[in-house]
Amino acid sequence: MPVTIKVNEESFTPRQQAVLTAALDLLVENGEGLTMTAVARRASCSKETLYKWFGDRDGLLTATVQWQAAKVRMPQVDRSALSAKALRLSIEQFARDLLTTIVGEVSITLNRTAVTHAAQEKDRLGIIVLENGPLAIRRRLKPILEAGRDARLLRFDNSEDAYRTFFGLVVRDVQIRLLLGDRSLTQSNVEANIEADATAATNQFFALYGADTAP
């Protein structure tokens, strides 16, 4: 008895959002410790209500991920001002935001949950995370890159390639190491370097795609 997923609706009642918050908290704390009983207890509601609202465990999980993934802050950069300096700042800001998001505990949890899910023929969560993570960034960044090209500030044939290179330069091996639980990458440790890393990645990106680069 599948329940229609609420997409593009923030139509969760406050009570329901409280439940989703509880579920997310459990996910973050316990990883796989998201049991229906635990959520019910944490949110002070009955299991019956959970099943009524979300259909089954998978529905609850999906709703939680969906709801949380949709609220990752995505930088809104103005496309109008296109001086070389403004473009660089925009892109650097993107790098910063991307790193900040990826490093966050919520993001790590969501990605882990989705990967776990994807290990069982189910790609629903994976698609959701993908859609709200990398792909969302791509949707926002591409127009900026193309505007930069139109203004002769950047040079590339394929904006897709340019975006993916940017992603690689910024993320490097940080995300996979965090997902794998690398102990030598403490949260604070990484956070302290976000500024420098974002700047470095931006410099490298411009070195590769800046219009003043030798072809």
Q: Minimum Å distance from CB 112 to a second copy?
A: 4
**Shorter beta-carbon distance to DNA: residue 47 or 164:** 47
Q: Is position 45 an interface residue for DNA (rule: CB under 7 A)?
A: yes
Query: What, of a second copy, DNA, none, does residue 169 touch, CB below 5 to 8 Å by kind?
Result: a second copy
Binding residues (CB under 8 A) for a second copy: these are 30-33, 109, 111-116, 118-123, 126-127, 129-130, 134, 161, 164-165, 167-173, 175-177, 179-183, 200, 204, 207-208, 213
Q: Phi and psi (nearest 5°) for 23?
A: -60, -45
State the Cα angle at 172 between 171 and 175, rounded to 5°: 60
Query: What, of DNA, a second copy, none, does residue 35 touch, CB below 5 to 8 Å by kind?
Result: DNA
| Tokens linked to 11 | 């139509």
- Distance of alpha carbon 167 from alpha carbon 138, whole angstroms: 9
Q: Round the CA-based radius of gyration of the chain to a whole number and report it.
A: 20
Q: Which stretch binds DNA (CB under 7 A): 50-58, 99-107, 114-122, 159-167?
A: 50-58
- Stated as kind and residue range, the H or E segment containing 187 is helix 187-209
